[in-house]
Amino acid sequence: MRPNAHLARMLTHGSSPGMADKSMPNDPFGAGDDFVASFQIEDTSVRGRIARLGDGVLDPILKRHDYPRWAAHLLGEAVTLAVLISASLKFDGRVMVQAQGGGPIPLLVAEARSDGGVRGYLKLDKAKWDNLDRINKGQRPHIPQVLGAGVMALLLQPNDPEQAPWQSMVPIEGATLADCAQTWFAQSEQVPTRVRLTVAEISELGGTKRWRSGGALIQQVAGDVSRGETQEQWDNARHLFDTITDLELADPDLSSAELLLRLFHESGVRLEPPKVLSDKCTCSDEKLLTTLRAMPKDEIKTLADADGAITADCQFCGRLYRFPLDTI
C-alpha cells in the first residue's frame, strides 16, 4: 500500500458493452480485509468511507458467541457501521453504536476505536428469538421485529477525560440497520447520507463457515461559493451508490478500489490510505477491580463463590476473571 492518496480512473463501466474488452487495473490498493478508508469522488461535493472486515476482525467476534445466524448478521452490520463512523474521528477515542429495545435482541453494542480496535456484543432473549424464528419460518426478520420499540444511539467518547463525550439518539425506524443509520444522520447531523451494510458467510470444505462484511457510506458536503450548487452532484452519486449489490460489497475477490471505480469511474475517485483494524477488547484486571472496589463491601461479599472469590466474564470477548476477596 502506498503512503500517498491514490487517484484512479476508468473509462468504461461494468454495464457498458466495451467492459468485456477492458481489464480492471491490477492495483492492490484497497485490497484485502480488516480496514476502513475514506474516499473522495473527484470534482464533486461527495465524500465517503468504505470498510471490509474478515478473518482478523469480524470472524472471531461472531464465532466467539455462537449467535443464531440472523442475530450474528445484525451484530456484524453494527460492527461495520461503527467502523465506518470511526473513520471520521478527529480525536483519540471511540465510537459506540448501541440499540436498545423490547424485542428478541434487547441490547446491541458495537465499538470501534481510533487505535483500530473493534469489538461487539448483543444480548439475546432466546425464547423471544425462537418464537420470532418460527413466525418468520427461518427468514431474516426486519429491524422492528428484532429490536422492538426502542432507540438507536451513537456515542463519541474521547480518551482525554477533559473532553466531554457526545451522544445522540433516534427512534428505531426502518427495515434494516442501514435505514436506521440514515435516519440518525438525517436527524442528528442533518447531513444527506446513504449507507450500505452487508454480512456474508463463506462455506468451506468440512462445513466450516467464515464471516466477513462490507460497508460503505457517502455524504453530501454543503455547497459554498467555491463549490457552488451541489445537489446535482449528490443526486448522481446517490444513484450510482444505490446500485451496489451485497455480493460486490462483501466479495473477497473484488477490492474496494475496484468497486469504487466501477461506481464512480466517470468522475474518478480518490481512496485515502486505510486504517488497519483488529479484534481487540479493552477489558482488563485493572478496570474490573476498579469497578468492584467502588461497590459496597457487603454487596461484594454476596457475589463471592464458596472459595471466597468473585468471578466475572467480559461480555464482549468472553475472557474470564477471578479475584479473591482479599485482593478487592
Give the whole-angstrom CA distance, residue 80 versus residue 281. 16
Given a cut of 70, the residues of the chain with pLDDT beneath it are 1-31, 223-228
Q: Would you state the pLDDT for residue 51?
A: 97
Domain boundaries defined on the chain: 6-279, 285-327
pLDDT in tens, 278-327: 999 999 999 888 888 888 888 888 888 878 889 888 999 988 999 888 88
Q: Would you state the pLDDT for residue 223?
A: 62
Cell 450500505 belongs to residue = 196
CA proximity to 263, closest of 229, 228, 217: 217
CATH superfamily of 6-279: Hsp33 domain (3.55.30.10)
C-alpha cell at 69: 445466524
**Read out DSSP for 307-327?**
TSEEEEE-TTT--EEEEEGGG
Q: Would you state the pLDDT for residue 2?
A: 33
Is 134 exposed, middle or buried, given 0-12, 13-18 or 19+ CB atoms closer than 10 A? exposed
pLDDT in tens, 133-178: 999 999 999 999 999 999 999 999 999 999 999 999 999 989 999 9
How many CB atoms sit inside 10 A of residue 158's CB?
A: 17
Give the whole-angstrom CA distance, residue 4 versus residue 24. 21
Q: Would you state the pLDDT for residue 224?
A: 57
C-alpha cell at 319: 475472557
In 178-274 the beta strands, taken as DSSP E runs, fall at 193-203, 209-220, 269-271
Give the whole-angstrom CA distance, residue 120 versus residue 111. 6
What is the rounded end-to-end Cα distance, in angstroms, of the chain? Answer: 48
Provide φ and ψ at 257, rounded to 5°: -60, -45
- The pTM is what? 0.86
Q: Would you state the pLDDT for residue 271?
A: 92
CA proximity to 65, closest of 298, 323, 248, 317: 317
